[in-house]
Amino acid sequence: MSYVDEIIASVEAKNADQPEFLQAVKEVLESLRPIVDANEEKYRYESLLERLVEPDRILIFRVPWVDDQGKIQVNRGFRVQFNNAIGPYKGGLRFRDNVNLGVIKFLGFEQIFKNSLTGLPIGGGKGGSDFDPKGKSDREVMAFCKSFMTELYKYIGKDVDVPAGDIGVGAREIGYLYGQYKRITNLYEGVLTGKGLDYGGSLVRTQATGYGLLYLTEEMLKCNGIELAGKTVAISGAGNVAIYACEKAQQLGANVVTLSDSTGWVYDPEGIDLAAVKEIKEVKRARLAEYTNYRPNAEYHTEGNVWSVKVDIALPCATQNELNEEDAKTLVANGVIAVAEGANMPTTFEATKVLQGAGVLFAPGKAANAGGVATSALEMSQNSERLSWSFEEVDEKLKGIMVNIFHKLDDAAKRYGHEGDYVVGANIAGFEKVANAFIAQGC
């Protein structure tokens, strides 16, 4: 059996109850075959892949908090410190009812390669809870966050592990978490990123994942002789990533015609009214169904999904496995040119094969959405030097990082004989640095 197949079998045997983690490991290892085959003897001797697929440590903890009725609620908290070969653990916290250990492990595993691709010194980690802030009062969210941090603070620190936001964790949650960390430790340090601008946050961090997605997409299109301006775009999600992907796509001259949330999706052929979406989502924390109050000519659907709309570019920005094989076939039949992942693993393995098989340009999430964590690393730099950079300075750095990431993928794919396969390119380019660091640091 090949080394890759051996490791896949062993990960399957040990983690049979974690489908998302298995999916992420398989996708990465499958595309590492060219580099693993070329170095099989050395990597086997080092047990490199065995070390790569096992997290450094997993923390699971009880999070008790009091709801508005005075009742005690209990949620489960997680932090997976996956790999710190190239820097302190870095990665977001996800608060959502479907969070479990397998989901956090998949996200932490992806984060290793994503963070490596940024070129910045950050390792891979992820955390979260099965607590969902949706429908909770501010006081309940605060009570939960304070309790979560009362346990988590023992294991993190500006040079140890630096969490940030993800689904269900935005500026409000980061504020409460930071307040509790500071109160317990008495340290004013960059232990979290995505902080408010008044207390150590970085300009552009709010926009970074969505903007970065468009910077990379634009570069990928340009290098394939295609212009972004004038193209029709479908975006899924209506959260942090989707909103700022929409904003940058519009600034670059594209027409974004869809957005979605977990209860439905909107189709607005004249172009999404982003001010309306920001008011619904960022101010009112309401459902996207309200969009038609602002735009009576737009359509709101609770059946089907945004991938049924005829577009040139598709940007999945909501959650894992939201674009399946059937969706991919529909997109291809409708003439889609490019798909770039704003979310983590939104496209299933089978759907990715359909898209790539049809010659669609496909940018995987670990490259395409790396702008968020890259800007988090820039926030860490600013916190360390106790200075704040201007919007233009951070945005310029973000753009440079995303353009550079695209060329790393392109180059790695070419070096290993898979020109144009940016999945192979991303995994190999992300892996190389981590593998070298692992080997250099010894067992």
Does 124 bind ligand 2IT (CB under 6 A)? Our answer is no
Does 165 bind ligand NDP (CB under 6 A)? Our answer is yes
Does 91 bind ligand 2IT (CB under 6 A)? Our answer is yes
For residues 368 and 390, what is the distance between their CA atoms, to the nearest angstrom?
24
For residues 432 and 48, what is the distance between their CA atoms, to the nearest angstrom?
11
Report residue 343 CA to chain centroid gap.
5
For residues 107 and 163, what is the distance between their CA atoms, to the nearest angstrom?
13
Measured from the CB atom, the residue of 91 and 102 that comes closer to ligand 2IT is 91
Per-residue x/- mask for ligand 2IT, residues 4 to 33, rule CB under 6 A? ------------------------------
Size of interface with ligand NDP, in residues (CB under 6 A): 24
Structure tokens at 18: 């974690």
Measured from the CB atom, the residue of 87 and 91 that comes closer to ligand NDP is 91
Catalytic option among 114, 126, 231, 281: 126
Candidates 80-88, 143-151, 314-322, 406-414 — which segment interacts with ligand NDP by CB under 6 A? 314-322
The three-state secondary structure class of 123 is strand
Question: In the Cβ-directed half-sphere of 377, how many Cα atoms lie within 13 Å?
Answer: 26
Among 342, 364, 425, 430, binds ligand NDP (CB under 6 A): 342
Within 180-209, the residues that bind ligand NDP by CB under 6 A are: 209
Candidates 27-35, 144-152, 240-248, 379-387 — which segment interacts with ligand NDP by CB under 6 A? 240-248
φ, ψ for residue 269, nearest 5 deg: -60, -25
For residues 430 and 428, what is the distance between their CA atoms, to the nearest angstrom?
5
CB-closest chain residue to ligand NDP? 239
Radius of gyration of the chain (CA): 21
Q: Which residues contact 70 (CB under 8 A, 6 or more apart)?
A: none
- DSSP, residue by residue, 11-24: HHHH-TT-HHHHHH
Q: Are 406 and 223 in contact (CB under 8 A)?
A: yes
Shortest CB 200 distance to ligand 2IT, Å: 14
Does 118 bind ligand 2IT (CB under 6 A)? Our answer is no
Does 108 bind ligand NDP (CB under 6 A)? Our answer is no
Measured from the CB atom, the residue of 258 and 369 that comes closer to ligand NDP is 369
Candidates 161-169, 178-186, 196-204, 405-413 — which segment interacts with ligand NDP by CB under 6 A? 161-169
Does 344 bind ligand NDP (CB under 6 A)? Our answer is yes
Q: Is 100 left (phi over 0), alpha (psi -120 to 50) or beta?
A: beta
Report residue 149 CA to chain centroid gap.
22
Name the nearest CA neighbour of 127 among 98, 88, 159, 100. Answer: 100
State the binding partner of 90 from ligand NDP, ligand 2IT, none, CB within 5 to 8 A by kind: ligand 2IT
- Active site (annotated) includes residue 158: no
From residue 201, how far is each of 128, 369, 371, 441 by CA, in Å? 21, 19, 16, 33
Candidates 13-21, 30-38, 284-292, 371-379 — which segment interacts with ligand 2IT by CB under 6 A? 371-379
Among 18, 20, 36, 90, binds ligand 2IT (CB under 6 A): 90
Size of interface with ligand 2IT, in residues (CB under 6 A): 11
Does 193 bind ligand 2IT (CB under 6 A)? Our answer is yes
Length of the chain: 443
Shortest CB 238 distance to ligand NDP, Å: 4
Q: Identity (one letter) of the amino acid at 326?
A: E
Shortest CB 359 distance to ligand NDP, Å: 26
Does 47 bind ligand NDP (CB under 6 A)? Our answer is no
Does 206 bind ligand 2IT (CB under 6 A)? Our answer is no
Q: Are 321 and 345 in contact (CB under 8 A)?
A: yes
Q: At what angle do helices 101-117 and 371-385 cross, to 10 degrees?
A: 70
Does 344 bind ligand 2IT (CB under 6 A)? Our answer is yes
φ, ψ for residue 28, nearest 5 deg: -70, -50
Please report, as ranges, the residues that interact with ligand 2IT according to CB under 6 A. 90-92, 114, 164, 166, 193, 344, 372-373, 376
Catalytic residue annotation: 126
List of residues contacting ligand NDP (CB under 6 A): 134, 165-168, 170, 209, 237-242, 261-263, 317-319, 342-344, 369, 372
